[in-house]
Copies of this chain bind each other. A is one copy, B any other.
Amino acid sequence: MNQHEFIKGTLSTIVLRLLSDKGPMYGYEITREVRQRSGEKILLKEGSLYPALRKMLSDGILYTYTETVENRTRVYYAVTDSGKVREAEQTTALLNFISIVEELLNPPTQSGYA
């Protein structure tokens, strides 16, 4: 995600939300899904994704299992029970933060117009 640095701090929430929503996914699949769902706007890099996934693993909010399909190993990442709690918390917190930022960006000089 080079095109804007707004992603910082939101990446793990987005990934966690995606895994909660779609079920277990493997890394490469996550990058494609985020790219597709964002209309090619958010291009997740491996150098961002894998460290983020490893942190979530060590935090106990994800776990992994592997499958081999056509000689290619896939490492699936899935949400743990505590991860589900965290997902709800973080999603709510991010949406709250977003609404605050939207208010801050809305020019008060324009409010008052009918």
- Give A residues with C-beta under 8 Å from B: 4-10, 13-14, 17-18, 21, 34, 37-39, 41-42, 91, 93-98, 100-105, 107-109
Contacts and interface: CB of A to CB of B under 8 A. Distances in A.
Contact of A101 (B14, B39, B107, B108): B14
Given A91-B105, A98-B98, A9 B4 contact: yes
Contacts of A4: 9, 93-94, 97
A39 B100 contact: yes
A41 B100 CA distance: 8
A95 B104 contact: no
28 contacts: A4-B9, A4-B94, A4-B97, A5-B8, A5-B9, A6-B10, A6-B93, A6-B97, A7-B9, A7-B97, A8-B8, A10-B101, A14-B101, A14-B104, A14-B105, A17-B104, A18-B104, A21-B109, A34-B104, A37-B103, A37-B104, A39-B100, A41-B96, A42-B104, A95-B102, A95-B105, A98-B98, A98-B102
